[in-house]
Amino acid sequence: MPRGRSDGLQQKHSVAFLFIVAFFLGFLYVYGGSIFGSQNSGSSALEYGRSLKRLGSSYLGAEDDNGGNRDESLASFKQGEGEANIFSKSFPVCDDRHSELIPCLDRHLIYQMRMKLDLSVMEHYERHCPPAERRYNCLIPPPSGYKVPIKWPQSRDEVWKANIPHTHLAHEKSDQNWMVEKGDKIMFPGGGTHFHYGADKYIASIANMLNFSNNNLNNEGRLRTVLDVGCGVASFGGYLLSSDIIAMSLAPNDVHQNQIQFALERGIPAYLGILGTKRLPYPSRSFELVHCSRCRIDWLQRDGILLLELDRLLRPGGYFAYSSPEAYAQDEENLKIWKEMSELVERMCWKIAAKRNQTVVWQKHGSNDCYMERGPDAHPPLCQSDDDPDAVWGVNMEACITRYSDPDDNRAEGSGLAAWPARLTTPPPRLSDFGYSNEMFEKDTELWQRRVAKYWDLLSPKIASNTLRNIMDMKAYMGSFAAALIDKNVWVMNVVPHDGVNTLKLIYDRGLIGSTHDWCEAFSTYPRTYDLLHAWSVFSDIEKRGCSLEDLLIEMDRVLRPTGFVIIRDKQPVIDFVKKYLSALHWEAIDSSSDSVQDGDEVVFIIQKKLWLTSESFRDAE
């Protein structure tokens, strides 16, 4: 006989016990927030979530925590419920082991779903998003002892160890000055595998190799956007900022875990990505310089397909700076690789601009002339004429050369762009690709200057000059929101939705950076990496596509730092919908005035995320 069913009395006691436990848990759930309250730490609200519901390691299904289908809330949004009908929703909290979850870059998901991926081409480091029935529909908790991040510019050199409690890189790279443990902080001396004596000296040496004035890599404003492949903890990108150069620091979530997490915690622009089988989420001709310092990439694989992806991303006359043993070592294996790589880039119409010590800098040809001089059977071949070099979301890389398509491309000085900072407000040449006029561009720039000024008026009671650093514009259009912030000490990840007008190349032409993305999926970043999210009509857009608005709220909460802000600019029914979830997300409206700031039929709603800890984190913090 099965245990526990030997007599009826024991069964009755079990039922009664379960009923009492269920009642007690329900009481905590409904009244826990008011019982336990909140406390302040410095200027930040710190909510001790001792009463928060916990969710274990299993995936939730499509049903919400209230037992109803999530389509009910979607239907209420469509009906446009008014203020009087707003009621609280709830979300459980994920298990603490998921405090660094990246849903579309989760290796556990790959193992659980038994995906058949080709490890030799790094498919396991590319995006693989969970289906709806396997999503974690819960809030990501902060790690034990989490603190509000150190502010920029101090954060470039030090972060709280509790916020990213991973120190293996400090030990593994101890002789290379990547990072050093010091008490409750992790320090970043500015070193790297090939620049032990500091990124600043290394950057100046590259500028000197290229004969740029004053050893300044920005080349009098002509070099502005950089892609740093295999960036480590992004010290190269961090030290470029003082030269008015902005780098997209790129690395995968590989054996050197948390590189990008450290970069973003420091306040340095960065993105989780890999040169694998898919194009990187950036348009053609985005970068003046691509950098690879001991990035351990086999550039000769698959007919040079990875170098050809860099070629797609480089502007006419752009540079590839390569610091690696292949560039200087004299052993047989490295000499062989150097010979083959030199032959490949020569066929790609690159030439050596400079070579010194451990570093070689190649320069991309500035026109189609070189391509036309090659024989008809030359390899790599030119891409087909119908290939769209700016189509990137989920598009496979191809081993072919992206040719220049119009006369404006054939200019070696960066596609005819103005020098920085004039580039920011000068209508870019590629406006004509969209049929946009210079007047449209200028009006958009002026419009967002007014809007951003109004945002700052609303935020001013809550922020100081150094409160914000990492900002994301979730629907960037031409990048005018970011352009209006240029006098602030911030950087902006400009996101262009993949299903809209592909204006990301205009953003890069302005000297800004960003990425293509699908907001029906999770973004490629660690939790708690942005101080402010700007969502202009993003909710309305994905609602039209039938995607879950609740999922978007959970994702926004995942990437938002505690004490960070959300600015929603959308229609009133969207604002009403979001208000139902403020308590569940531990968000709070800044003030009532934000509800009445009108711009046509759009409403501005500004929210702040509270700093809360789980009971486990709270015990460690004590």
Digit-coded pLDDT (tens) for 385-428 = 899 999 999 999 999 999 887 554 444 445 689 999 999 999 99
Under the banding of pLDDT at 50, 70 and 90, the label for residue 89 is: confident
Distance CA 250, CA 280 (A): 10
According to the model, what pLDDT value does residue 171 have?
Answer: 62
Determine the average pLDDT of the residues in 63-73: 39
Under the banding of pLDDT at 50, 70 and 90, the label for residue 197 is: confident
The beta strand positions in 294-424, using DSSP E, are 314-323, 350-356, 359-364
Give yes or no for residue 39 having a pLDDT over 50: no
Label residue 527 exposed, middle or buried (CB < 10 Å: 0-12, 13-18, 19+). Answer: buried
User: Whose CA is closest to 226, among 314, 153, 113, 105?
Assistant: 314
According to the model, what pLDDT value does residue 616 have?
Answer: 55
Determine the average pLDDT of the residues in 458-467: 95
What does the CA dihedral 18, 24, 30, 31 come to, rounded to 10 degrees?
180
Distance CA 189, CA 48 (A): 35
Under the banding of pLDDT at 50, 70 and 90, the label for residue 189 is: confident
Give yes or no for residue 8 having a pLDDT over 60: no
Distance CA 231, CA 291 (A): 9
Two structure tokens written together for 509? 């032409």
Range of lowest pLDDT (8-22, 128-142, 232-246, 512-526): 8-22
Q: How many CB atoms lie within 10 A of CB 487?
A: 6
Orientation of helix 301-313 relative to helix 332-347, angle to 10°: 50
**What rounded mean pLDDT belongs to the chain?**
84
Compare 60 and 189 and report the one with higher pLDDT: 189
According to the model, what pLDDT value does residue 211 have?
Answer: 98
Specify the DSSP element, H or E, that contains 549: helix 549-559
Q: Which distant-in-sequence residues (6+ apart) come within 8 Å of 523 by Cβ?
A: 495, 517, 555, 559
Q: With contact defined as beta carbons under 8 Å apart, do 292 and 321 qualify?
A: yes
According to the model, what pLDDT value does residue 406 have?
Answer: 59
According to the model, what pLDDT value does residue 169 have?
Answer: 66
Residue 11's φ and ψ, nearest 5 degrees, are -65, -40
Compare 468 and 592 and report the one with higher pLDDT: 468
According to the model, what pLDDT value does residue 87 have?
Answer: 52
Report the range out of 11-20, 45-54, 287-296 with the highest average pLDDT.
Answer: 287-296
According to the model, what pLDDT value does residue 591 have?
Answer: 66
Which stretches within 183-294 are classed as H helix? 199-209, 235-240, 259-266
Under the banding of pLDDT at 50, 70 and 90, the label for residue 598 is: low
According to the model, what pLDDT value does residue 90 have?
Answer: 81
Range of lowest pLDDT (11-25, 170-184, 346-360): 11-25
Give yes or no for residue 127 having a pLDDT over 70: yes
**% of the chain surpassing 90 pLDDT:** 67
Map tokens 């595998």 to a residue.
193
Q: What sign has the CA pseudo-torsion 138, 144, 145, 147? A: negative
User: Whose CA is closest to 561, among 521, 536, 527, 584?
Assistant: 527
Q: With contact defined as beta carbons under 8 Å apart, do 609 and 565 qualify?
A: yes
User: Whose CA is closest to 530, among 586, 604, 473?
Assistant: 473
Half-sphere exposure of 10 toward its Cβ, with a 13 Å CA cutoff?
Answer: 6
Q: With contact defined as beta carbons under 8 Å apart, do 237 and 247 qualify?
A: yes
Three-state SS at 182:
strand
For the stretch 297-301, contacts whose Cβ atoms lie closer than 8 Å and that sit 24 or more positions apart, written own/partner, are: 297/229, 297/230, 299/341, 299/344, 300/337, 300/340, 300/341, 300/344, 301/121
